[in-house]
């Protein structure tokens, strides 16, 4: 997928940088934090794959309309919203790393320590919240200034904010699951995956690209469903990387999902299949902030013992089959069908 979306990603990064440079000049008239935040957002996003924005432009082209400055603005907007979500997510999950570099709120914490502030940790959190908010607001500014057909613009903005509201509700559910002693059922977990990650990662950009190309509602429905299957595959791969990936691969601390007591399918199936003594030890491990390597290895051993990954891989293969059926039934050139299958294979086989 990297090769397929590379050209789009470079276009987005260029416009992303130009837009932030322009905003920085204006923000600099307000206070010193104006240039600071635009610089940090540029640095934060430079290592990003720009998957969501690239899928917008790819989809528009797939339906016969070349990307122009207005569609690139839509792609930049979705990446700005994505950046804001990640900045806030790192605060919620207490992650000090993102994409192999210091999380934005930890950067601010470091600045506060350097200035000998009385509460550097709270300063970092507060500034990170502000940084994420600003990313949302300037993303909204881009969307509101689109110079396209008014009806299309209204549809795009309604879809945009409806989907990101769902992400917020999914995040609230994720926070609740992490803190609650109650164990969610499989359906609860899949709904969390769907609305916190899957739809805004693929369904939303697919549909935005389709709207920009002016396709029918029937085709939009196909894209929406395809996006759900691709997004669920993407999230289940994320769970695997969060459990087994190294810091270099995943760009986040090893065992972060275990420390945060993430109620993933791995967590659910482990507790279902484990013996009572194993369940007792697992419950003492999940949610523990100072987790040992031995504890992480114990979780890995039980995943292998009960073939949990095989169970989840079977579900992934089901989604792949459903996705292939939708792709084969789409009214697009075979070249784009092949590329859609490559995007799905990337989600299946990625290592970071």
Give me the pLDDT at residue 350, please: 80
Residue 127's pLDDT is: 96
Question: Are the beta carbons of 158 and 243 closer than 8 angstroms?
Answer: no
- Distance of alpha carbon 44 from alpha carbon 80, whole angstroms: 10
Q: Which domains, ranges and CATH numbers included, belong to the chain?
A: 1-147 (1.10.600.10), 194-352 (1.10.600.10)
- 263 phi and psi angles, rounded to 5 deg: -90, 70
Around 213, how many Cα atoms within 13 Å sit in the side-chain half-sphere? 26
What is the pLDDT averaged over residues 201-224? Answer: 96
251 CB contacts (<8 Å, ≥6 apart)? 97, 98, 99, 100, 101, 352
Q: Is 102 helix (H, G, I), strand (E, B) or coil?
A: strand
Question: Would you state the pLDDT for residue 249?
Answer: 56
Q: Structure tokens of 198?
A: 């899957």
- Report pLDDT for 248: 59
pLDDT digits (tens, 9 = 90+) for 231-288: 999 999 989 888 887 665 555 556 777 887 889 999 999 999 999 999 999 988 988 8
Residue range 298-318: mean pLDDT, rounded: 94
Q: What SS3 state is found at 97?
A: strand
Angle among Cα 296, 299, 304 to the nearest 5 degrees reads 125
DSSP alpha helices (H): ranges in the chain? 2-27, 33-46, 51-62, 69-93, 104-114, 120-144, 150-179, 186-193, 204-213, 217-244, 247-250, 256-259, 265-273, 276-285, 293-305, 308-328, 334-349
What percentage of the chain has pLDDT greater than the value 90?
A: 73
Query: By mean pLDDT, which of 81-85, 122-126, 293-297 is the weakest?
Result: 293-297
pLDDT computed for residue 76 by the predictor: 96
For the ranges 48-52, 85-89, 165-169, which has the lowest average pLDDT?
Answer: 48-52
CA–CA separation, 118 vs 229, rounded Å?
Answer: 48
* pLDDT attached to residue 134: 96
pLDDT digits (tens, 9 = 90+) for 109-124: 999 999 999 999 999 9
Strand partners, 111: none
pLDDT at 109: 95
Q: Is the pLDDT of residue 141 over 60?
A: yes
- Under 8 Å between Cβ of 48 and 87: no
Cα 114 versus chain centre, distance: 32
pLDDT at 250: 53
The pLDDT value given to residue 2: 59
Is 4's pLDDT higher than 80?
no
Tracing tokens 């979306």 back to the chain, one arrives at: 5
pLDDT value of residue 252: 57
Average pLDDT, the chain: 91
* Least confident range of 3-12, 171-180, 214-223, 327-336: 3-12
Cα Rg of the chain (Å, integer) = 21
Q: How confident is the model at residue 45 (pLDDT cuts 50, 70, 90)?
A: confident
Quote the pLDDT of residue 28: 87
Give the per-residue pLDDT at 253: 57
Question: Quick one: CA torsion of 43, 23, 31, 128, rounded to 10 degrees?
Answer: -40
């Amino acid at each position: 997928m990297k090769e397929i979306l590379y050209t789009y990603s470079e276009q987005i990064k260029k416009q992303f940088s130009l837009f932030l440079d322009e905003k920085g000049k204006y923000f600099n008239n307000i206070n010193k934090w104006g240039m600071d935040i635009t610089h940090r957002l540029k640095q934060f996003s430079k290592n990003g794959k720009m998957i969501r924005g690239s899928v917008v432009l790819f989809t528009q082209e797939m339906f016969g309309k070349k990307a122009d400055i207005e569609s690139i603005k839509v792609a930049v907007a979705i990446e700005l919203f994505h950046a804001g979500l990640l900045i806030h997510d790192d605060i919620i999950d207490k992650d000090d790393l993102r994409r192999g570099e210091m999380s934005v709120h930890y950067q601010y914490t470091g600045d506060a320590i350097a200035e000998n502030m009385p509460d550097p940790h709270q300063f970092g959190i507060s500034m990170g919240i502000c940084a994420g908010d600003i990313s949302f607001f300037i993303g909204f500014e881009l969307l509101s200034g689109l110079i396209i057909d008014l009806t299309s613009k209204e549809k795009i903005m309604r879809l945009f904010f409806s989907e990101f509201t769902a992400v917020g509700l999914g995040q609230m559910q994720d926070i609740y699951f992490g803190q609650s002693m109650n164990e969610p059922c499989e359906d609860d977990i899949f709904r969390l995956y769907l609305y916190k990650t899957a739809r805004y990662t693929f369904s939303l950009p697919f549909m935005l690209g389709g709207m920009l190309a002016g396709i029918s509602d029937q085709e939009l429905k196909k894209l929406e469903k395809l996006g759900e299957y691709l997004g669920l595959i993407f999230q289940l791969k994320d769970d695997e990387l969060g459990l087994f990936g190294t810091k270099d691969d995943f760009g986040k601390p090893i065992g972060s999902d275990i420390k945060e007591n993430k109620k993933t399918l791995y967590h659910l199936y482990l507790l279902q299949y484990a013996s009572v003594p194993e369940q007792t030890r697992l419950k003492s491990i999940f949610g523990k902030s100072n987790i040992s390597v031995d504890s992480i290895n114990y979780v890995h051993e039980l995943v292998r013992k009960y073939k949990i990954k095989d169970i989840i891989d079977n579900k992934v293969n089901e989604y792949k089959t459903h996705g292939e059926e939708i792709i084969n039934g789409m009214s697009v050139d075979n070249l784009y069908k092949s590329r859609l299958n490559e995007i799905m294979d990337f989600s299946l086989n990625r290592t970071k």
